[in-house]
Structure 1
Amino acid sequence: MPDDVTKEKSVRLHIYLPQDEIDAIDNWGFKNRIRARTKAIRELVKKGLEADESN
């Protein structure tokens, strides 16, 4: 299990995204030196949730 995944039970999630959103995720990951798309998605979700909590 990758270091950045918590020790809690992980749940696999299948989603469909339009190509432009995949491209945006990949570009964001590249700019932030995140090699794996899955890790980039987890980081973006985490940032979104943290931003929502601050509102």
Structure 2
Amino acid sequence: MFMGTSVLSLRIDHELLERLKEHAAKRGMSVQDYVVRTLIRDDFDERFKCAVDETEKFYGLT
């Protein structure tokens, strides 16, 4: 399955950008790659939690 890309433009303050640059540099990544990776990880965590919640509801554990 082909997945296209889109552009997302953000306006962030200088201090946040500097922190993002530091975090990205520690991992040898660009700021863009670091932000995208962080968003993907957060999205996965959210979807995983929803799946666990649904499983617990199904089995009556909640």
Instruction: State the TM-score, normalizing by the size of structure 2.
Output: 0.61
If each structure's helix is expressed as a fraction of its own residues, which one has the higher value?
2
1:51 aligns with 2:61: no
Higher relative contact order at CA 8 Å, sep ≥6: structure 1 or structure 2? 1
Q: After TM superposition, what 4+ stretches of structure 1 lie above 2 angstroms from structure 2?
A: 50-55
CA RMSD of aligned residues (A): 1.6
In 1, Cα distance between the equivalents of 2:26 and 2:46?
23
Instruction: State the TM-score, normalizing by the size of structure 1.
Output: 0.67
Pairs aligned (count): 48
1:39 aligns with 2:10: no
In 2, Cα distance between the equivalents of 1:23 and 1:47?
21
> Which residue of the partner structure matches residue 4 of structure 1?
none
Gaps of 5+ in 2: 50-62
